[in-house]
Amino acid sequence: MVAPVIFSRADHPISRTLIDDDALKVLYRLRKFNHAAYLVGGGVRDLLLQRHPKDFDIGTSAHPHEVKRIFRNCWIIGRRFRLAHVKFGQKTIEVATFRKQVPLDENASLPSRDTKETEKQRSDDTNLTRQPIRRDNTFGTPEEDAFRRDFTINALFYDISTFAIIDYVGGMQDLQNKLLRCIGDPRERFVEDPVRMLRAVAFAARLDFRVDTPIRDAIKHHHGEIKNASPARLVEELYKLLRSGVSTKTFKTLSKNGLLEHIAPEVEHRKSMRLWRSLDALDSYRCRFTSSPESLTNAVLLGSLMTPVQTLDLTPPRRDDRSVGLTLGDLPLARKDVDRLRRALVLQPRLTDPNLPARAVKGILTRPSFPDALTWLTIHGKNPDAVKHWQELAAKGPRPRPPKKRRRRRLRGPRAVSTNE
């Protein structure tokens, strides 16, 4: 057992007034029912760096079904990693039970996604004993939970009862030194969860931290492991990178380290100054806000990355056409996001037309695609007068109609045969 370093309230800048009120409600209520509960992860890290956290996550000794009994506004999600989501309107407080490292024999018995290339690469490294994590519902203690996390700066706990920071892994020292360091052997950590390589690049770019040498070496030798990551998680992480405000720096580093080739070969093979200018414009827009604005939808983010390297057909697809319209390696792009991007691009010539009739202006303002189109014009249009004009019209005019929901056709069974003759 490792004794943690305790930093009292006088030794750190975190105050309860900086923590979201609903997160405090969850913390206090869990403690009321005699469960340990701490603020954990990125929320603690960002508060210590005096940044605005995008969300607040909670670690607790309560199991997911116990959290659900305490909070009526709670939903349990996930299969590989079961989490409790406590809802407050549109806001979600994520509550995770303390975990411990998955036993080797239990993890090895589950089906693998490994390719022949990564199996050979891993077998060549005789020091590696871990396998990709395919189940992570083995509950543990706060100490075990800290040591199974990815980086030291993400393994700090804030205790609401004593206002102290609990540090098992030296994360406070690394924050002061602006150093990104893995907990344990980076090679094993990246084999367990290849998405951690993306997160390492993203944290270094967003926080302007130095990357520990073992992390750089591990990414260099094991970047092929990223093929074993869940495609859905990779899509989610790519959108996070694009929302970070430092997407240009991040994607250049991904390309340099060989990760972009495996995730998005279309971007890697066709990258040019046009791509970097597009991402620069996206970053410039994002940096106007303290946190990612709702206007940065997946459609706008996807277009900022893909339109410089691929041509999107703007004609509406036929109903029987199952193709998405854009390809990003083997990643599953949502057709609805590509359709939203297509509609936003179709509107661009009309938004820059100074002779548009008043009736057409009203029709554009009420279109569901107008917010995305205006955001695209703001980021990539290079026409500030048109942006200002449409922003003024949007402030005075009618609100866009919500998109229509398609009604599913009921499947009718065969008609009952009448027995009356």
The total number of structural domains that make up the chain: 2
DSSP bridge partners of 58: 39, 95
Would you say residue 30 lies in a domain?
Answer: yes
What residue numbers bound the domain in which 42 lies? 1-101+138-177
> Quick check: 343 pLDDT over 90?
yes
Would you say residue 195 lies in a domain?
Answer: no
DSSP bridge partners of 156: 167
Phi/psi at 187 (5° precision): -60, -45
CB neighbours of residue 162 within 10 Å: 11
For strands 91-97 and 156-159, give the pairing: unpaired
Task: Specify the 3-state DSSP secondary structure of 179.
Answer: strand
* Span 66-77, average pLDDT: 94
Would you say residue 245 lies in a domain?
Answer: no
Same domain, yes or no: 163 and 312: no
Quick one: DSSP state of residue 183?
A: S
Crossing angle for the helix pair 384-396 and 358-365, nearest 10 degrees?
Answer: 80
> Quick check: 326 pLDDT over 70?
yes
CB neighbours of residue 124 within 10 Å: 9
* Span 333-356, average pLDDT: 94
Per-residue confidence (pLDDT) for residue 421, from 0 to 100? 46
- In whole numbers, what is the pLDDT of the chain averaged over residues? 88
Per-residue confidence (pLDDT) for residue 321, from 0 to 100? 67
pLDDT-based confidence at residue 110 (cuts at 50, 70, 90): very low
Q: Does 399 or 355 have the greater pLDDT score? A: 355
In b/e form, how buried is each residue of 78-101, taking b as 16+ CB within 10 angstroms?
A: eeeebebbbeeeeebbbbbbbbeb
pLDDT-based confidence at residue 109 (cuts at 50, 70, 90): very low
Same domain, yes or no: 155 and 13: yes
**Terminal alpha carbon distance of the chain:** 84
pLDDT-based confidence at residue 108 (cuts at 50, 70, 90): very low
Q: What is the CATH number of the domain that holds 144?
A: 3.30.460.10
Residue that terminates a domain, selected from 130, 152, 177: 177
Would you say residue 407 lies in a domain?
Answer: no
Per-residue confidence (pLDDT) for residue 86, from 0 to 100? 96
Q: Does 82 or 7 have the greater pLDDT score? A: 7
Q: How far apart are CA 421 and CA 418, in angstroms?
A: 8
Would you say residue 246 lies in a domain?
Answer: no
Would you say residue 321 lies in a domain?
Answer: yes
Tell me the catalytic residues. 55, 57, 150
Would you say residue 89 lies in a domain?
Answer: yes
Q: What is the 3-state secondary structure (H, E, C) of 274-342?
A: HHHHHHHHHHHHHCCCCCCCCCCCHHHHHHHHHCCCCCCCCCCCCCCCCCCCCCCCCCCCCHHHHHHHH
Helix, strand, coil percentages (3-state) for the chain, rounded to 5, are: 50, 10, 40
**pTM of the predicted model, to two decimals?**
0.82
Would you say residue 203 lies in a domain?
Answer: no
